Amino acid sequence: MPPFTRPATRRVHDSEHARLLQCVEAILERSDRAVPWEPDTVGLPDARTDSALARINDVAFYANARNEVSALAGLCLDLLGLHSPDDQDDPHCQGCRLPWPCPTFGEITRLLG
Ligand SMILES: [Zn+2]
């Protein structure tokens, strides 16, 4: 069936998959382009407590955020690549073969939506 005659629900799920893919690609691109953080790059926000351990946690979070965001965005891209609709009239997930949208894609949509 040509794409312009596909059922409307199919096009909605295809466009939702494409929208999430674009969203995650943009996150990955921004994190990869960002300058790695260092304490004197932009400083640290004011501490909420006097705890040295909490401050160490803050520094560790900011220092690792860029790489961790990139890793998580890469994982999301891989999952979206695995869980995508096939090109059949009655679409199924190419990864898990369940009817489209599969539960994994539904969960990704819920979490990133
Ligand atoms: Zn799936």
- Other beta carbons less than 10 A from residue 1's beta carbon: 10
Output the pLDDT for position 98. 98
8-state DSSP, 88: S
12 alpha carbon – ligand 1 mean position (Å): 17
Radius of gyration of the chain measured on its C-alpha atoms? 20
97 alpha carbon – ligand 1 mean position (Å): 6
64 alpha carbon – ligand 1 mean position (Å): 30
Where are the domains positioned within the chain? 3-112
Contacts of 10 (CB under 8 A, 6+ apart): 85, 91, 100
* C-beta of residue 79 within 8 angstroms of C-beta of residue 104: yes
For 75-92, letters b (16+ CB in 10 Å) and e give ebbebbeebbbeeeeebe
Q: Please determine, for residue 111, whether its predicted confidence score (pLDDT) is greater than 70.
A: yes
Output the pLDDT for position 1. 44
80 alpha carbon – ligand 1 mean position (Å): 9
92 alpha carbon – ligand 1 mean position (Å): 8
Dihedral-angle region of residue 97 (phi above 0 means left; psi in -120 to 50 means alpha; beta otherwise)? left
84 alpha carbon – ligand 1 mean position (Å): 7
Q: What would the pLDDT profile of 61-71 be if each residue is shown by its tens digit?
A: 888 999 999 99
